[in-house]
Amino acid sequence: MDLEGISNISLDINTLLLAYRSGQSVTAIVELIYERIATHEHNPIWITLLPKQQVLQAAAQLEAMRQDMPSLPLFGIPFALKDNIDANGVLTTAACPAFGYMPTEDAMVVEKLLAAGALLIGKTNLDQFATGLVGTRSPYGVCQNPFDDRYISGGSSSGSAVAVSAGLVSFALGTDTAGSGRVPAAFNNIVGLKPSRGLISNRGVVPACRSLDCVSIFALSCNDAELVLAACQGFDHQDIYCRDRPLPANQQALPKSSSQSLSRFRFGVPTQDWLEFFGDREYQQLFTTSISHLEAIGGQQVEIDYQPFYDAAQLLYSGPWVAERLAALASFFEHSADQTLEITSQIILGANKYTAVDVFESIYKLKSHQRSAAAEWQKMDLLLVPTTPTIYQISQVNEEPLQLNTNLGYYTNFVNLLDLCAIAIPSGFRTDHLPFGITLIAPAFNENLLISLGTKYQQQLNLPLGNTSITYHQVSQ
């Protein structure tokens, strides 16, 4: 099949949908994707790549339903799954071969995406059991950053983010407990949407911290993330942590779609004594510039006390919430702990030092931090932070795996504990061409606000989409 005419096509969702409406075949896009995947064989992005013939068959079935395109919002849109999310008949490993099992049904989120016409390409690499923000903790290999293979791609949803950035899929699902849906987005120059807890069903997702886990969305643009969220959100009575989106009767009136946004809004920024970049002056300067960019689209900067957010973040890995990771995997670790990576066992089995008293004391502390954070939210509509303070080389993380991982969570670990939603957005490059990103954060169920302002932000900067030469303005948004 001659693919020359589409060889450089962007895989952003709107571009593909326009192509399909103009008669482009889904099978040709699949052929193109597998050609692109072949050029990245050196990078262990995939744990399970579906056989091309199987995906071509699914594409042919979609072709037969072309007349139903108006009712299939993700018709022919290729996507990937982090390999802790079930797909019927595709092995789930959570990056631990000894843990692997064969699902007999799709996770609820996958079921919804397939029903919307999306096309599954494969399952991606991750930090084992979604434990880490670095992307180096997998027996399947270390996912390399597509901008510079000496650097980490971020974790735990490393493969999903790289697949989107490299133009191998239009979007990918990750999970986010401590920042795993945002850190890889920043390091790969893509969007990472972490919805409110319970907005997307976690049924069919291997738990990390079940009370905090979120399925997250990696995409090339905020618009694309919005389309995916619309297709896969929804209440699931079989997921005890799933929540109905509340009516906004007692909330500030917020935009209903990304075509609208607040003309004026207040964004909080931590005071200078709380801003941390671990010596990365370029990230520091890029963050200062991002404040100006946000002001240019109607924002008013407000300094806030970051103390309650920081204190809440410390509870996640320096407190008994790590015990929830062991609770999810207790049976496996009882018999097969020696089948995991040493760093994984060290973190998860560290839960044994905590008591029930520790848990309750930390719950009380968290309630106190939530009360203090609520006072700061009275000053702002959203919070602006760097997605990460810096980026590290793979060799650096191998030498100092725990502390550098902790550093990367400085601006992410509190979000789920404080019941917030967040979107990570590309925001420029260092002089060595490594990406920098910001995160916009808001109280739960304010995804529309974040997507709307994120779209304006992307429009203003007009950066490349992922690790491609195609810029935001060059595609239809």
* Cα dihedral 443/444/448/450 (nearest 10): 40
Rounded CA-CA distance 339/335 in Å is 9
DSSP state of 248: G
Amino acid at 19: A
Burial of residue 100 (CB within 10 Å: 0-12, 13-18, 19+) is middle
DSSP state of 389: S
Burial of residue 389 (CB within 10 Å: 0-12, 13-18, 19+) is buried
User: Could you give the strand order of the β-sheet that contains 420-429, starting from the edge strand earlier in sequence?
Assistant: 46-49, 119-124, 78-82, 171-176, 214-219, 191-194, 420-429, 435-443, 382-386, 265-270, 299-304
Please give the angle made by the CA atoms of 397, 438 and 77, to the nearest 5 degrees: 90
Number of H helices, E strands in the chain: 15, 11
Structural element, H or E, at residue 217: strand 214-219
Catalytically active residues are 82, 156, 180
